[in-house]
Amino acid sequence: MTARSAHRRPALHLTRFQLWLLALTTVIVAGLIAGVIVFTRGLVVTNLTDLVPWGLWITIDLSSIAMSAGAFLLCAAVYLLGLKQFQPVARTATFVGLLGYSMAVLCLLLDIGRPERFWHALVFWNPHSVLWEVTMCVTLYLAVLALETAPILGQAEWMQRRRPRLARLLSSVHHYAPYLAVVGLGLSLLHQSSLGATYGVLKARPIWYRPDLSVLFIVSAMAGGPALTALASMLAARLSKRVHIDDHLLERLSHAIGWVLVGYLYFRFWDAFAMTYTYAPGRTEGLNLLTQGPLSFNFWIGEMLLGAVVPIVILLKSNWRRNPPLRMIALALIVVGVVAYRWDTNLAGQMVVMSYLPQDITARFTTYTPSLIELISGAGIVAFGLLAFTLGVRYLNVVDHRAIEHAEEQALEPALEPTQ
């Protein structure tokens, strides 16, 4: 700090932006330390057991992937349905998607017992495994997202100034956006649903073993993903003067999200209701955990009331939806609801321990609470996502509903010239 500014302000005055960066960096450093402990001491530092082998990290992984669904949806809307006015939102969603998938990969690296073998599924194929399919799709889609975000980097002003040729190459990927949108749509539909099927195919876990999980996973992601993108855009615009959003555009998107949520609630109702038809060993116990047991607060308050009913009312009632603060609350609640859904689904199947004794059909229960190391490293991953988004807003202009069209034209111009 220079001497001139020092006598005007207290010596260690940080701007709000710097404070935010400092807080995130602190959490990331703590998360890194926790991560090093996980890698050196092994997964014994978690509260995971052979009865509950998937916990907090898997929930963050599933949630990050769900929150990235805005990317494929909005790209499909813009480039396949021709809703061109949503192009700037698709740009933000793609960036959010890239961060979401990076977070998911980080979670998995922490979670698997042999992180140095992360590449095994690409080389040793088991096409019968849903998880193999998910791994392949996620890897390929990560590549698609990287290509889709390339123009964002190419259009950054500092990039065009310092590396003009590279910037032009990166920007030119934009011409393939329609192809990438098709590939991204296919891959996303496949693996977003397959993540539900990862649970749904397990006959040993009756609360999971049902066809609807794949449908519920994709539909909830279709609400949660765009919701996070819209929320992040609105938040960025409120916190930074250099961010310009078209509130009408986000309001229309939020309206659509409200209807997706109605569809989700419909599927979810019949899914849960069908499980009450009769007593089924394990399944009934699982439903009990959700509706009356330790997960019931999450289920009724987190998933149903705050995660679905309240945002549906706000987003479908036009004068409430047009109120930006109220709309932001609704969008944030959707995100909370989707995360709660992933957490509850993951745990409901594992907390019910099925008996294999022939005369004993009743299930036992177990519990799981994440350890401090799991919490800190998980928080580090979330902080990484927030920091990357913050920097993206600041230096890559990822939320800008104004200047985009101009930039696209610039990028498009050379390609319109005859080449031969």
Give the interface with other proteins as residue ranges (CB under 8 A).
Answer: 41-44, 46, 48-51, 53-54, 111-114, 117-118, 120-126, 128-132, 134-136, 143, 165-166, 168-169, 172-173, 175-176, 179, 198, 201-205, 349-350, 353-354, 356-360, 414-415, 419
Find the shortest distance in angstroms from Cβ 235 to other proteins.
34
Left, alpha or beta for 82 (phi > 0: left; psi -120 to 50: alpha)? left
Find the shortest distance in angstroms from Cβ 173 to other proteins.
6
Rg (CA), the chain: 23
Closer Cβ to other proteins, 94 or 171, answer by number: 171
Hey, what are 179's tokens?
A: 């192809």
Closer Cβ to other proteins, 276 or 366, answer by number: 366
C-alpha distances out from residue 348 to 47, 101, 195, 199, 240, Å: 16, 25, 16, 11, 41
Give, for 365, the enclosing helix (H) or strand (E). Answer: strand 364-365
Closer Cβ to other proteins, 48 or 237, answer by number: 48
Find the shortest distance in angstroms from Cβ 411 to other proteins.
9
Find the shortest distance in angstroms from Cβ 276 to other proteins.
21
Closer Cβ to other proteins, 11 or 123, answer by number: 123
Closer Cβ to other proteins, 168 or 252, answer by number: 168
Size of the chain, expressed as the number of residues it contains: 420
Per DSSP, 248 falls in state H
Hey, what are 155's tokens?
A: 């259009």
370 in Cβ contact with 343 (< 8 Å)? no
Find the shortest distance in angstroms from Cβ 118 to other proteins.
7
Tokens 């609105």 -> residue: 234
Closer Cβ to other proteins, 136 or 249, answer by number: 136
C-alpha distances out from residue 369 to 63, 189, 366, Å: 18, 32, 11
Three-state SS at 302: helix
234 in Cβ contact with 245 (< 8 Å)? yes
Find the shortest distance in angstroms from Cβ 113 to other proteins.
2
Closer Cβ to other proteins, 2 or 40, answer by number: 40
Closer Cβ to other proteins, 277 or 356, answer by number: 356
As a whole number of angstroms, the distance between CA 406 and CA 21 comes to 31
- Most distant CA atoms of the chain, gap in Å: 83
Alpha helices in 275-323 (DSSP H): 283-291, 296-297, 310-316, 318-321
Which residue type occupies 399? V
Find the shortest distance in angstroms from Cβ 205 to other proteins.
7
Find the shortest distance in angstroms from Cβ 4 to other proteins.
45
Closest listed residue to residue 149, CA positions, set 331, 415, 417, 388: 388
Closer Cβ to other proteins, 305 or 412, answer by number: 412
∠ CA 359-362-363, nearest 5°, is 130
Find the shortest distance in angstroms from Cβ 50 to other proteins.
5
Hey, what are 318's tokens?
A: 């036009």
